Amino acid sequence: MLKVTDVKKAYGKFTVLEDINLEVADGEFLAIMGPSGSGKSTLINILGLLDQSYTGEYLLEDKNYQNVSDNELSRIRGDQLGFVFQNFKLLTTYNVYENIEIPLIYSKKAQNNKQELIADVIDKVGLTGKEKNRPSELSGGQQQRVAIARAIVNRPKLIIADEPTGALDSKTSKEIMDIFTKLNKAGTTVIMVTHDSEVAEYAMRTVYIRDGHLYNDEKSVKNHD
Ligand SMILES: Nc1ncnc2c1ncn2[C@@H]1O[C@H](COP(=O)(O)OP(=O)(O)OP(=O)(O)O)[C@@H](O)[C@H]1O
Protein backbone atom coordinates (compact mmCIF):
# COMPACT_ATOMS: atom_id res chain seq x y z
CA MET A 1 0.00 0.00 0.00
CA LEU A 2 2.69 2.48 0.99
CA LYS A 3 6.40 2.85 1.54
CA VAL A 4 8.25 5.60 3.41
CA THR A 5 12.02 5.81 2.93
CA ASP A 6 14.35 8.04 4.97
CA VAL A 7 11.73 10.72 5.43
CA LYS A 8 12.72 13.84 7.32
CA LYS A 9 10.51 16.77 8.16
CA ALA A 10 11.65 20.02 9.72
CA TYR A 11 10.15 23.38 10.62
CA GLY A 12 13.13 25.66 10.12
CA LYS A 13 15.87 24.38 12.41
CA PHE A 14 13.44 22.20 14.35
CA THR A 15 13.44 18.61 13.10
CA VAL A 16 10.08 16.94 13.76
CA LEU A 17 10.67 13.62 11.96
CA GLU A 18 13.97 11.97 11.06
CA ASP A 19 15.04 8.70 9.41
CA ILE A 20 11.46 7.53 9.06
CA ASN A 21 11.22 4.17 7.29
CA LEU A 22 7.90 2.39 7.17
CA GLU A 23 6.17 -0.07 4.92
CA VAL A 24 2.47 -0.83 5.18
CA ALA A 25 1.07 -3.77 3.22
CA ASP A 26 -2.36 -3.91 1.60
CA GLY A 27 -4.93 -5.01 4.16
CA GLU A 28 -2.83 -4.15 7.22
CA PHE A 29 -4.18 -2.49 10.35
CA LEU A 30 -1.37 -0.39 11.82
CA ALA A 31 -1.41 1.58 15.07
CA ILE A 32 1.00 4.47 15.62
CA MET A 33 1.66 5.32 19.27
CA GLY A 34 3.85 7.89 20.95
CA PRO A 35 3.80 10.74 23.45
CA SER A 36 2.22 14.11 22.76
CA GLY A 37 4.37 16.19 20.41
CA SER A 38 6.40 13.20 19.18
CA GLY A 39 5.41 13.69 15.52
CA LYS A 40 2.46 11.33 15.01
CA SER A 41 0.15 13.85 13.34
CA THR A 42 3.05 15.17 11.26
CA LEU A 43 3.66 11.64 9.97
CA ILE A 44 0.05 10.89 9.12
CA ASN A 45 -0.29 14.25 7.40
CA ILE A 46 2.49 13.10 5.08
CA LEU A 47 0.90 9.66 4.64
CA GLY A 48 -2.47 11.30 3.93
CA LEU A 49 -0.97 13.60 1.24
CA LEU A 50 -1.79 16.66 3.35
CA ASP A 51 1.86 17.71 3.62
CA GLN A 52 4.36 17.59 0.76
CA SER A 53 7.22 19.52 2.35
CA TYR A 54 9.58 16.79 3.53
CA THR A 55 12.74 15.15 2.26
CA GLY A 56 13.10 11.45 1.53
CA GLU A 57 10.55 9.44 -0.39
CA TYR A 58 6.94 8.53 0.19
CA LEU A 59 5.23 6.19 -2.27
CA LEU A 60 1.50 5.53 -2.07
CA GLU A 61 0.70 2.49 -4.21
CA ASP A 62 4.12 2.92 -5.85
CA LYS A 63 3.41 6.52 -6.82
CA ASN A 64 5.25 9.62 -5.69
CA TYR A 65 2.89 12.57 -5.26
CA GLN A 66 5.39 15.14 -4.05
CA ASN A 67 5.26 17.24 -7.21
CA VAL A 68 1.58 16.89 -7.94
CA SER A 69 -0.69 19.98 -8.00
CA ASP A 70 -2.95 20.78 -5.04
CA ASN A 71 -6.07 20.13 -7.14
CA GLU A 72 -4.84 16.72 -8.17
CA LEU A 73 -3.90 15.95 -4.57
CA SER A 74 -7.40 16.83 -3.31
CA ARG A 75 -8.88 14.54 -5.92
CA ILE A 76 -6.59 11.67 -4.95
CA ARG A 77 -7.30 12.21 -1.25
CA GLY A 78 -11.03 12.25 -1.93
CA ASP A 79 -11.04 9.15 -4.09
CA GLN A 80 -8.43 6.96 -2.42
CA LEU A 81 -8.23 7.96 1.22
CA GLY A 82 -10.68 8.21 4.10
CA PHE A 83 -9.95 10.42 7.10
CA VAL A 84 -11.33 10.11 10.64
CA PHE A 85 -10.39 12.59 13.37
CA GLN A 86 -10.67 12.77 17.16
CA ASN A 87 -13.18 15.64 17.04
CA PHE A 88 -15.26 14.16 14.19
CA LYS A 89 -15.11 17.33 12.01
CA LEU A 90 -18.73 17.07 10.86
CA LEU A 91 -20.58 20.02 9.31
CA THR A 92 -22.99 21.14 12.02
CA THR A 93 -25.62 22.64 9.71
CA TYR A 94 -25.82 19.45 7.62
CA ASN A 95 -27.74 16.36 8.70
CA VAL A 96 -26.25 12.84 8.83
CA TYR A 97 -27.14 12.00 5.23
CA GLU A 98 -25.75 15.29 3.90
CA ASN A 99 -22.49 14.94 5.85
CA ILE A 100 -21.94 11.50 4.37
CA GLU A 101 -22.83 12.74 0.89
CA ILE A 102 -20.04 15.39 0.80
CA PRO A 103 -17.19 13.19 -0.54
CA LEU A 104 -19.50 11.93 -3.32
CA ILE A 105 -20.23 15.48 -4.45
CA TYR A 106 -16.53 16.18 -4.93
CA SER A 107 -15.60 12.80 -6.39
CA LYS A 108 -15.04 12.16 -10.06
CA LYS A 109 -16.00 8.52 -9.64
CA ALA A 110 -19.26 7.65 -11.39
CA GLN A 111 -22.09 7.99 -8.87
CA ASN A 112 -25.36 6.91 -10.35
CA ASN A 113 -26.23 4.93 -7.23
CA LYS A 114 -25.46 7.63 -4.68
CA GLN A 115 -28.47 6.99 -2.43
CA GLU A 116 -27.68 3.31 -2.34
CA LEU A 117 -24.03 3.95 -1.43
CA ILE A 118 -25.06 6.26 1.41
CA ALA A 119 -27.74 3.88 2.72
CA ASP A 120 -25.16 1.08 2.65
CA VAL A 121 -22.55 2.93 4.74
CA ILE A 122 -25.22 4.21 7.16
CA ASP A 123 -26.22 0.60 7.68
CA LYS A 124 -22.56 -0.47 8.08
CA VAL A 125 -22.00 2.01 10.94
CA GLY A 126 -25.37 1.23 12.54
CA LEU A 127 -27.10 4.60 12.07
CA THR A 128 -30.13 3.62 10.02
CA GLY A 129 -33.03 5.88 11.05
CA LYS A 130 -30.76 8.82 11.98
CA GLU A 131 -30.36 10.16 8.42
CA LYS A 132 -32.18 13.44 9.12
CA ASN A 133 -30.56 14.20 12.49
CA ARG A 134 -28.02 16.99 12.87
CA PRO A 135 -24.68 16.15 14.56
CA SER A 136 -25.73 18.12 17.68
CA GLU A 137 -28.59 15.65 18.14
CA LEU A 138 -26.21 12.69 18.29
CA SER A 139 -23.91 11.24 20.97
CA GLY A 140 -20.13 11.42 20.49
CA GLY A 141 -20.04 7.77 19.43
CA GLN A 142 -22.83 8.34 16.91
CA GLN A 143 -21.02 11.40 15.53
CA GLN A 144 -17.87 9.31 15.06
CA ARG A 145 -19.99 6.70 13.24
CA VAL A 146 -21.12 9.46 10.85
CA ALA A 147 -17.48 10.49 10.33
CA ILE A 148 -16.53 6.88 9.57
CA ALA A 149 -19.45 6.54 7.12
CA ARG A 150 -18.28 9.75 5.42
CA ALA A 151 -14.71 8.37 5.29
CA ILE A 152 -15.75 5.08 3.66
CA VAL A 153 -18.52 6.17 1.28
CA ASN A 154 -16.02 6.53 -1.58
CA ARG A 155 -14.66 3.05 -0.80
CA PRO A 156 -11.11 4.21 -0.06
CA LYS A 157 -8.24 1.73 -0.04
CA LEU A 158 -6.74 3.38 3.02
CA ILE A 159 -8.34 4.88 6.11
CA ILE A 160 -6.24 7.25 8.20
CA ALA A 161 -7.62 7.79 11.69
CA ASP A 162 -6.07 10.33 14.09
CA GLU A 163 -7.07 9.44 17.68
CA PRO A 164 -10.51 8.23 16.55
CA THR A 165 -11.50 7.25 20.09
CA GLY A 166 -9.77 10.15 21.87
CA ALA A 167 -13.06 11.88 22.71
CA LEU A 168 -15.03 8.74 23.55
CA ASP A 169 -15.62 6.65 26.69
CA SER A 170 -14.24 3.12 26.78
CA LYS A 171 -17.49 1.32 25.88
CA THR A 172 -18.10 3.59 22.89
CA SER A 173 -14.42 3.31 21.90
CA LYS A 174 -14.83 -0.45 21.74
CA GLU A 175 -17.86 -0.10 19.46
CA ILE A 176 -15.95 2.26 17.15
CA MET A 177 -12.95 -0.09 17.07
CA ASP A 178 -15.27 -2.97 16.17
CA ILE A 179 -16.35 -0.97 13.11
CA PHE A 180 -12.70 -0.36 12.08
CA THR A 181 -11.96 -4.07 12.61
CA LYS A 182 -14.87 -5.05 10.35
CA LEU A 183 -13.77 -2.59 7.65
CA ASN A 184 -10.23 -3.95 7.86
CA LYS A 185 -11.44 -7.57 7.66
CA ALA A 186 -13.34 -6.56 4.50
CA GLY A 187 -10.03 -5.46 2.93
CA THR A 188 -9.52 -1.78 3.83
CA THR A 189 -6.04 -0.85 5.05
CA VAL A 190 -6.22 1.14 8.31
CA ILE A 191 -3.59 3.39 9.89
CA MET A 192 -4.57 4.76 13.28
CA VAL A 193 -2.87 7.07 15.74
CA THR A 194 -3.77 6.38 19.35
CA HIS A 195 -2.56 7.10 22.87
CA ASP A 196 -4.52 4.17 24.23
CA SER A 197 -2.77 0.78 24.32
CA GLU A 198 -6.14 -1.02 24.63
CA VAL A 199 -7.24 0.64 21.40
CA ALA A 200 -3.90 -0.21 19.73
CA GLU A 201 -4.56 -3.88 20.47
CA TYR A 202 -7.17 -3.91 17.72
CA ALA A 203 -4.37 -3.30 15.21
CA MET A 204 -2.23 -6.11 13.73
CA ARG A 205 0.94 -4.15 14.33
CA THR A 206 2.01 -1.14 16.37
CA VAL A 207 4.89 1.24 15.68
CA TYR A 208 6.11 3.84 18.16
CA ILE A 209 7.28 7.39 17.58
CA ARG A 210 9.55 9.01 20.10
CA ASP A 211 11.23 12.38 19.48
CA GLY A 212 10.63 12.15 15.75
CA HIS A 213 12.09 8.64 15.33
CA LEU A 214 10.09 5.55 14.50
CA TYR A 215 10.55 2.26 16.37
CA ASN A 216 9.03 -1.11 15.60
CA ASP A 217 8.59 -2.20 19.18
CA GLU A 218 8.50 -0.74 22.66
CA LYS A 219 11.74 -2.45 23.62
CA SER A 220 13.75 -0.53 21.04
CA VAL A 221 12.20 2.75 22.29
CA LYS A 222 13.35 1.88 25.82
CA ASN A 223 16.83 0.92 24.65
CA HIS A 224 17.07 4.27 22.92
CA ASP A 225 16.28 6.20 26.16
N1 LIG B 1 3.43 24.25 11.87
C2 LIG B 1 4.35 23.96 12.79
N3 LIG B 1 5.40 24.76 13.01
C4 LIG B 1 6.34 24.46 13.90
N5 LIG B 1 6.33 23.34 14.68
C6 LIG B 1 5.30 22.50 14.51
C7 LIG B 1 4.25 22.76 13.57
N8 LIG B 1 3.36 21.72 13.64
C9 LIG B 1 3.82 20.87 14.58
N10 LIG B 1 4.98 21.33 15.11
C11 LIG B 1 5.80 20.67 16.15
O12 LIG B 1 6.12 19.38 15.71
C13 LIG B 1 6.12 18.46 16.80
C14 LIG B 1 5.26 17.27 16.47
O15 LIG B 1 3.90 17.66 16.39
P16 LIG B 1 2.73 16.60 16.07
O17 LIG B 1 1.46 17.36 16.04
O18 LIG B 1 3.11 15.79 14.90
O19 LIG B 1 2.79 15.69 17.38
P20 LIG B 1 1.81 14.53 17.86
O21 LIG B 1 2.67 13.37 18.19
O22 LIG B 1 0.75 14.32 16.83
O23 LIG B 1 1.20 15.15 19.17
P24 LIG B 1 -0.26 14.98 19.85
O25 LIG B 1 -0.30 13.56 20.34
O26 LIG B 1 -0.21 15.94 20.98
O27 LIG B 1 -1.27 15.30 18.81
C28 LIG B 1 5.65 19.25 18.03
O29 LIG B 1 6.79 19.57 18.78
C30 LIG B 1 5.02 20.47 17.43
O31 LIG B 1 5.16 21.57 18.30
The DSSP line for 58-101 is: EEETTEE-TTS-HHHHHHHHHHHEEEEETT----TTS-HHHHHH
Q: Is the CB of 36 under 6 A from ligand 1?
A: yes
Q: Which atom of ligand 1 is nearest to the CA of 42?
A: 18
Please give the CATH topology (third level) of the domain spanning 2-224: Rossmann fold (3.40.50)
Q: What's the CA-to-centroid distance between 12 and ligand 1, angstroms?
A: 13
Residue 2 DSSP class: E
- Give residue 41 CA to ligand 1 midpoint distance, Å: 7
Coarse DSSP helix, strand, coil percentages of the chain, rounded to the nearest 5 percent: 35, 25, 35
Taking the centre of ligand 1 as the mean of its atom positions, its distance from the CA of residue 85, in whole angstroms, is: 16
How confident is the model over 28-82, as pLDDT tens digits?
999 999 999 999 999 999 999 999 999 999 999 999 999 999 999 998 999 899 9
Is the CB–ligand 1 distance for residue 42 below 6 Å? yes
Contact between 85 and 166 (Cβ < 8 Å): no
Instruction: Look at ligand 1, atom 26, and give the residue with the nearest C-alpha.
Output: 36
Find out whether the beta carbon of 86 lies less than 6 Å from any atom of ligand 1. no
Q: Give the integer Cα–Cα distance in Å for 225 and 222.
A: 5
Please state, in angstroms and rounded to a whole number, the distance separating the CA atoms of residues 211 and 92: 36
* Dist. CA 162 → ligand 1 center (Å): 13
Instruction: Determine the pLDDT at residue 105.
Output: 85
Measured by CA distance, the residue closest to atom 30 of ligand 1 is 37
The rounded distance, in Å, linking the Cα atoms of 142 and 13 is 42
Among protein residues, the one with the nearest Cα to ligand 1's atom 3 is 11
Distances (CA, A) of 95 to 118, 129, 131, 134, 188: 13, 12, 7, 4, 26
Kindly provide the b/e burial profile for residues 57-68, where b requires at least 16 CB atoms within 10 angstroms of the residue's own CB.
Answer: ebebeeeebeee
Distance CA 165, CA 24 (A): 22
Over residues 142-194, the pLDDT tens digits come to: 999 999 999 999 999 999 999 999 999 999 999 999 999 999 999 999 999 99
pTM given for the model? 0.93
Nearest CA to ligand 1 atom 28: 37
DSSP symbol at 195: S
pLDDT in tens, 102-157: 998 877 776 778 999 999 999 999 999 999 999 999 999 999 999 999 999 999 99
CA 218 to chain centre: 22
Give the residue among 102, 50, 100, 55 at the shortest CA–CA distance from 74. 50
Residue nearest to atom 7 of ligand 1 (CA): 11
Backbone φ and ψ for 82, nearest 5 degrees, come out as -125, 135
In this structure, what DSSP letter does residue 136 have? G
- Measured in Å, residue 86 CA sits from the centre of ligand 1 at 16
Ligand 1 in reach of 71 Cβ (< 6 A): no
Query: Using a 6 Å cutoff on CB, does residue 41 contact ligand 1?
Result: yes
Domain regions of the chain by residue span: 2-224
